[in-house]
């Protein structure tokens, strides 16, 4: 979900939550990567959200989907989430099974419904998160590489966000340019994305209109409106380390071990 900005006296602050190991970066609808042949993935955080000492354990089901994630600081379990999927391997349910701040409570994080076209591609989704509902609807598909969506976020019955998204896709069905028009504030963003030959994101650049008068700060880890990404791999092609490069400075965000 795209985070809205909060104006401060001198700066604009953006909250960044690092979910790189699960996100394809190039989809309107979050398609999670499958990991067939593995039972567990251990992810260590470094300069991202949480920082050093934080890590998580992803448990993999029989067809390669992430069935649960346990979050730790050193040896202390902080939380555990459980995920359920439909026959298209799209997430339909996320449950908080444990939270160190409320250890006796099991709570639903989100429930999502989808609609598909004749090619089993998602055209509409509706996600409920507590009192907040997010809907994303395909409103125009003039070609295989140009599509338009409307994304609305409701809190209770009040619209808090309403955006038009124009998506330009490359030949691999990845987003190469994303135009976002905020229909409430009238602000406009253009996101440019470049990819490596293996499909992983190489660069993400954002242009904002009107141009912000104040500085932009990303909270939760190193971040910028112009980011480059690098990766290291195991011999089997699985991701080993993930880096972000900002203003020629390289940060290790996550490392991965598969079992």
Dihedral (Cα; 35, 53, 217, 156), 10-degree rounding: 60
Structural domain includes residue 1? no
Helix and strand counts by DSSP (H, E) for the chain: 0, 19
117 is a domain residue = yes
**Cβ atoms of 175 and 192 closer than 8 Å:** no
| Dist CA 186 CA 183 (whole Å) | 5
Domain assignment of residue 45, yes or no: yes
What confidence tens digit (pLDDT) does each residue in 46-99 have? 986 556 789 999 999 999 999 999 999 999 999 999 999 999 999 999 999 999
Q: What is the pLDDT of residues 119-137, one digit of tens each?
A: 888 999 999 999 999 999 9
Nearest to 45 by CA among 9, 73, 3: 73
Q: What is the CATH number of the domain that holds 159?
A: 2.40.160
pTM passes above 0.75? yes
Helix (H, G, I), strand (E, B) or coil at 248: coil
Q: Which domain holds residue 97?
A: 6-258
């Amino acid at each position: 979900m795209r985070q809205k900005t909060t104006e401060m006296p001198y700066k604009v602050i953006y909250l960044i939550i690092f979910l790189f190991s699960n996100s394809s970066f190039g989809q309107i609808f979050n398609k999670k990567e499958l990991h067939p042949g593995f039972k567990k993935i251990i992810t260590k955080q470094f300069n991202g959200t949480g920082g050093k000492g934080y890590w998580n354990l992803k448990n993999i089901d029989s067809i390669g989907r992430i069935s649960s994630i346990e979050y730790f600081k050193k040896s202390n379990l902080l939380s555990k989430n459980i995920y359920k999927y439909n026959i298209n391997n799209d997430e339909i349910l996320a449950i908080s099974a444990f939270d160190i701040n409320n250890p006796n409570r099991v709570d639903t994080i989100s429930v999502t419904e989808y609609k598909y076209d004749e090619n089993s591609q998602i055209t509409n989704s509706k996600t409920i998160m507590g009192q907040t509902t997010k809907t994303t609807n395909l409103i125009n598909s003039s070609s295989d590489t140009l599509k338009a969506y409307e994304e609305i976020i409701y809190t209770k019955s009040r619209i808090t966000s309403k955006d038009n998204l124009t998506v330009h896709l490359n030949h691999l069905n990845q987003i190469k340019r994303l135009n976002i028009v905020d229909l409430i504030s009238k602000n406009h963003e253009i996101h440019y994305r470049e990819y490596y030959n293996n499909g992983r994101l190489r660069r993400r650049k954002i242009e904002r209109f009107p141009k912000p008068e104040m500085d932009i700060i990303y909270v939760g880890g190193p971040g910028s409106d112009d980011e480059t990404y690098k990766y290291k791999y195991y011999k089997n092609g699985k991701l080993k380390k993930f880096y972000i490069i900002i203003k020629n400075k390289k940060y290790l965000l996550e490392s991965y071990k598969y079992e």
